Structure 1
Amino acid sequence: MSERALRDAIVRWGKSLFERGLTAGSSGNLSARTEQGFIATPTNSCLGFLDADRLSILDEEGKHVGGDPPTKELPLHFAFYRNRPNARAVVHLHSTYATALSCLADVDPADAVPPITPYVVMRVGKVPVVAYTRPGSAEVAPLIDAVAPDHAAVLLQNHGPVVSAPSLESAVFAMEELEETAKLVLLTRGMKVRLLDAGQIADLERNSKLR
């Protein structure tokens, strides 16, 4: 995908996420890897009103070289790119249900999203919880470094979800799946839930090429 097409895709998907209430105000940020470096949403920008010509451009080292100043959340984006060579996009939102899960004290820190449907296994995988750090702090990077080699998505404690994927489209789809699954988990909380068993999960992982 050309840089122009990728710029337009970031604007299109940002608008879609915002209009569907998956992130509010100036929260959330998107980034994508290019042949020359990275494109990211600017700091304090609203995903519903992005300007393709003002998106932040960064070189291979993460240095800001064009467009508006980038999101302050770049340390978490670059941690995924650093640890997942096939990652071409990262999506971070403050979506309601996944963020609610990130605030609960009794979720499994190794996998906060139980395997309640096959699609969360195929599109997202296990979702560990990363300890709280101030938004934008570089202290989040080593925490993500510790889990990103084995996980395409995380929940930032008391903050929200982050998903990486081989394309911007697949990252958005995975984020949507994570949010919908978090909603199911919260709706069925306290009920006797039938989770997918180890054999079913292994079968899905063997046959899944979505991540």
Structure 2
Amino acid sequence: MTAAPDARESIVSAARSLFRRGLTHGSTGNLSVRIGDDRVLVTPTGSSLGTVEAGDLSVIDLRGRHVEGPKPSKEAFLHAALLRARPRAGAVVHTHSTYAAAVSCLDGLDPRDALPPLTAYFAMRVGRLPLLPYFAPGDRGLERTAEETARTHSALLLSNHGPIVAGASLGAALDAIEELEETAKLFLLLRGLPTRPLTPEQRRALEPPPLS
């Protein structure tokens, strides 16, 4: 398990990187890292990922309850839900990145599989992307659905909101959410054009194990 001081610095470094590259804006987006059997470091409420500091981070438990530090993000309960659902996951990243958020606003998507497997890396790092129903930010009505869906999917797309991804490590979660954003961009660029996604057989050969 990552030691808390190292986890704090890792979160700050990842937050800065996401903000610099435009994957978050304003005070949107939040990150978390598991630091013990029942403790999670998470970015605080109302903070910008471009300016958050190690000492600003909150600690919650796996029920999403505030344990110490500043008040956590109002979406901290989602991080806890994904980490409960995926005991081997070590981190969760949530953004409002432009292309994934745009896809989340489209009508007519398959809620079981919102993005086609346009590339091998999407199939490997994301797998299938379920689209969850709309809930206002911070509405804990989403918690049960998110936890149940995360048991078999490491990445979720929140309707009219954005993506949230769990990974074995913070680096893995970042890789997956960036791959998701790039695939969303490709999907929007290609809308209306004939495409050739991976075949079901090609996809199955690359998809991550359900509980990895």
TM-score range, shorter chain: over 0.9
1:10 aligns with 2:11: yes
Q: In 2, Cα distance between the equivalents of 1:14 and 1:163?
A: 15
1:1-211 correspondence runs (5 A) = 1-35=2-36, 37-205=39-207, 211=212
Task: Tell me how far 1:59 sits from its aligned partner.
Answer: 3.6
SS in 2 for 1:57: strand
Structure 1 unaligned blocks of 5 or more: none
Task: Tell me how far 1:61 sits from its aligned partner.
Answer: 4.4
Structure 2 unaligned blocks of 5 or more: none
Alignment-mate amino acid for residue 21 of structure 2: R
Alignment-mate amino acid for residue 76 of structure 1: L
Q: In 2, Cα distance between the equivalents of 1:196 and 1:57?
A: 41
Q: Which stretch shifts more, 80-89 or 177-186?
A: 80-89
Kept in 1, the 8 Å contact 2:62–2:81? The answer is: no
Task: Tell me how far 1:28 sits from its aligned partner.
Answer: 0.5
Q: Which stretch shifts more, 193-202 or 12-21?
A: 193-202
Q: Deviations over 1:63-107 (max 9, x none)?
A: 322221100002211111111111111111000000000000121
Q: 1:148 to 1:60 in 2, by over 3 A?
A: closer
Q: Deviations over 1:19-40 (max 9, x none)?
A: 1000100000111111150100
SS in 1 for 2:164: strand
Q: What's the TM-score once normalised by structure 2's chain length?
A: 0.94
Task: Tell me how far 1:2 sits from its aligned partner.
Answer: 1.4
Alignment-mate amino acid for residue 80 of structure 1: L
Q: In 2, Cα distance between the equivalents of 1:132 and 1:109?
A: 12
Identity within the alignment, %: 49
Alignment-mate amino acid for residue 45 of structure 1: S
For this pair of structures, how many residues does the alignment match? 210
Q: 1:196 to 1:8 in 2, by over 3 A?
A: same
Give me the CA root mean square deviation. 1.7
Kept in 1, the 8 Å contact 2:125–2:207? The answer is: no
Q: In 1, Cα distance between the equivalents of 2:156 and 2:130?
A: 5
Q: What's the TM-score once normalised by structure 1's chain length?
A: 0.95
